[in-house]
Chain A
């Protein structure tokens, strides 16, 4: 039993990890064919993982409706939103779901007038919070935070036409801040991050890192 729970997943991670790793160094056409097929497998598994995420969301709200916890009315709205949209998606303007997705129709309407505006508005609410944070919490408490704020102000003014009107040095300074120190720091950070990603990936392939299996 332990073999299936522990050894098999680690063996799979090792084998396919090695294939994915070697594929970048072995250009040979036969290895390339295997590699391409595995890539489309991974894409398919992304989709299955999405089903998992949607299922846990819907189950959470279904439980709220069942137990009539406070605010279960909102969960009902969530369920209605999901089922109507998914049903229209599958109806697919009459061609149903065993053909290509139709380019127009009800699903696109839902996308244009519910999905798109709600998503964009949700993010734009952040602009208000930035303003309130700018007034109340962005303080030059330490020397470091002070330098950060000075650089931020130069870039913010340098990026809008008013910056050019005040003096043409501000946009050049803003551009320089982005091109030299910012680029240098990003390169230094990338070198470090890449080592972190490679080290973690190696640990996953060799079965040293098992946290992603979610406990034993």
Chain B
């Protein structure tokens, strides 16, 4: 096998690679092989925390801090968490730090609540979007009602049973931030470390590695990372949703990618050997 052919194989037009990915993703979706999913420790930690909140009839604050770009990875998490809360009668207060996220939060909250006929005001409420990030979290810790005097539909939160006696973040049993960028950090830096409420987070695959050091320090209790994390949570609550279905094409494309990396490096090293052999030949 000459070096030119190796070079040709390496410099394959990238559109063929795009096609292979497309075929692999679509194909795997229609092949039905069942996937056993084994929930990881960090996902289990969030599940157990919500179970505990359910035991003492507490309230969860779910901050859906993501925009359309991250919706595919994060909405399955929000939906799985909301289904778990509503099925166990846990009260949910929704909000978002992301200007684009209010609409997403609204749809996923209302559709999940409808499944368990949870009523707005009694079982759940949506505070909507407010700018400020860390400054908003501090504000909510100091005086919750000053930060959110009204919910997203402009009704006074003191008239909503689920939110009326919340005077500060410390009154909330478990705060979860499903976040696409640094919002989870704002919740931790400006929220958990000052007001010591229990804090968990669901993040995109990109950000998950940054959260691990804070699991060890006990600042984060419960982490869902990427679509795989969402699928694990869906398995825990026994309601396979989009994430579980998505795992098939996801796994197929993953395997394709690993093969690409291995194949690419295999050819690269082979080419290196040939090059050294050629150089030795020229030297003689």
Contacts and interface: CB of A to CB of B under 8 A. Distances in A.
Contact, chains A and B (beta carbon distance below 8 A): yes
Interface of A: 32, 36, 39-40, 42-43, 46-47, 99-101, 103, 108, 111-112, 115-120, 122-124, 127-128, 130-132, 134-136, 138-140, 149, 152-153, 156-157, 159-162, 164-165, 171, 175, 178-179, 182-184, 186-187, 190
Interface of B: 10-12, 14, 17-18, 20-22, 35-38, 40-41, 67-72, 100, 103-104, 106-107, 130-132, 135-136, 138-139, 142-143, 146, 150, 152-154, 208-210, 212-213, 215-216, 225-226, 228, 247, 250-251, 253-258, 260-265, 268
A182 B68 contact: no
A43 B136 contact: yes
Contacts of A111: 100, 103
A83 to B, nearest CB: 19
B261 A138 contact: yes
A136 B263 CA distance: 10
Dominant SS among interface residues on chain B: helix
Contacts of A171: 38, 40
Dominant SS among interface residues on chain A: helix
B67 A100 contact: no
A115 B100 contact: yes
B17 to A, nearest CB: 5
29 contacts: A36-B143, A39-B138, A42-B135, A43-B132, A47-B131, A101-B152, A103-B152, A111-B103, A123-B70, A127-B253, A131-B18, A132-B17, A134-B260, A134-B264, A135-B264, A136-B11, A136-B17, A138-B265, A152-B261, A156-B258, A157-B258, A161-B35, A162-B251, A171-B38, A175-B40, A175-B41, A178-B212, A183-B212, A183-B215
Contacts of B213: 183-184, 186-187, 190
